[in-house]
Amino acid sequence: MRVLVVGANGQVARLTVRELAERGHEPVAMVRNENQGEGLKRLGAKKIVIADLEADITHAFKDVDAVIFAAGSGGKTGADKTILVDLWGAMKTVDTAMNKGIKRFVMLSSMGTVDPDKSDRIRHYLVAKKVADDYLKNSSLSYTIVRPGSLTTDEAKGLIKLEEEIQVRDNTITREDVAKVLAGVLDRKNTYQKTFEILNGSMPIDEALDSV
């Protein structure tokens, strides 16, 4: 499957590009800066497309079978960038996918979006994510929304906890495991029209995804 990875130079997205390539897919890495391309090619990207979520992105969707939205404004930016990238950028990506006839869409979201009012520190971010998630749910796309908890740079454990909403949030999840989940749901039809949260846990990733 030829997969457009939006925000491909992000930490989780880079690992997702590698994971997709290892699974036999053809990652198309969408980045803002052409200098980021060589590193992504080494990770397995078959093609690099230069596009900015704050501008026109339609050219990036040519000959694509699926989209993984993994872009983010980053923790060091203000609420304005959160709105432009995490909210408006996500909505533009959904609209463009539909306009181009692309049906499969995987969204990297965040735990906590069920009720953003429970968070003071990053409430604006969670609100943006929730609105983007809801916009995707109301689209005609075959979507999966993945909501990880706090991310770490540890090596992948290959074991997760997966629930629609995890009540006891006593753990974190590695970025590498999140990437494995994003790539793993891509061609699993049982994950279509599903939204779930993930943390590192005790169930092998494939088994957890099969149980969705």
Catalytic residues: 125
Single-letter residue type at 102: I
Backbone angles phi, psi at 164, to 5 degrees: -60, -45
Radius of gyration of the chain from its Cα atoms, rounded to whole angstroms:
16
Strand partners, 198: 148, 162
Copy the structure tokens of residue 37. 């391309």
Residue 90 host element (H or E): helix 90-99
Could you tell me if 131 and 116 are in contact, meaning their C-beta atoms sit under 8 angstroms apart? Answer: no
Question: What order of strands is seen across the sheet that includes strand 159-163?
Answer: 47-50, 26-31, 2-6, 66-69, 104-108, 142-148, 194-200, 159-163, 203-204
Detail the DSSP E strand segments found in the chain: 2-6, 26-31, 47-50, 66-69, 104-108, 142-148, 151-152, 159-163, 173-174, 194-200, 203-204
